[in-house]
């Protein structure tokens, strides 16, 4: 009986500590507009990231056979440019934010051309609320 109570107490304590840790991370991320490379999917394999992004975008947006190559090229170009500025996220946050914003604007402009108005609106709706290494679409928005 004592073992069960100790195990239950340990479980509750661990769960509470874990939840507090997650809450602090969420609050910290929400309070800070700075993005670190650890909160984004890795861009070490641009082709793989592009493929994962396209696997999500194609069905979500209903991309046509004509649109897929254009969107794929736009995403690849964006990811290559973003990979080149990623070191700034940890060394010069202001420069990273400025360059990242410019890249995101450029991608948005290209996608507005490649997608219909309805598709572009759906694309914007896919934006995660915060950067997440577990959501490959974070690479396009943060």
Q: Give the model confidence (pLDDT) of 38-50 as tens digits.
A: 555 677 889 999 9
0.85 exceeded by pTM: no
70 pLDDT tier (thresholds 50, 70, 90): very high
pLDDT of 27 over the 60 cut: no
Tokens of 28: 């910290």
- List of E strands, the chain: none
Residue count of the chain, please give it. Answer: 142
């Amino acid at each position: 009986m004592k073992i069960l109570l100790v195990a239950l107490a340990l479980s509750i304590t661990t769960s509470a500590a874990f939840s507090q840790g997650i809450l602090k991370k969420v609050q910290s991320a929400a309070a800070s507009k700075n993005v670190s490379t650890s909160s984004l999917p890795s861009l070490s394999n641009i082709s793989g990231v592009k493929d994962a992004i396209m696997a999500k975008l194609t069905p979500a947006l209903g991309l046509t056979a004509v649109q897929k190559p254009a969107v794929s090229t736009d995403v690849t170009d964006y990811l290559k440019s973003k990979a080149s500025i990623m070191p700034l996220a940890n060394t010069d946050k202001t420069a990273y934010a400025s360059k990242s914003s410019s890249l995101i604007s450029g991608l948005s402009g290209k996608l507005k051309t490649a997608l219909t108005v309805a598709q572009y609106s759906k694309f914007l709706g896919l934006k995660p609320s915060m950067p997440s290494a577990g959501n490959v679409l974070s690479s396009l928005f943060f």
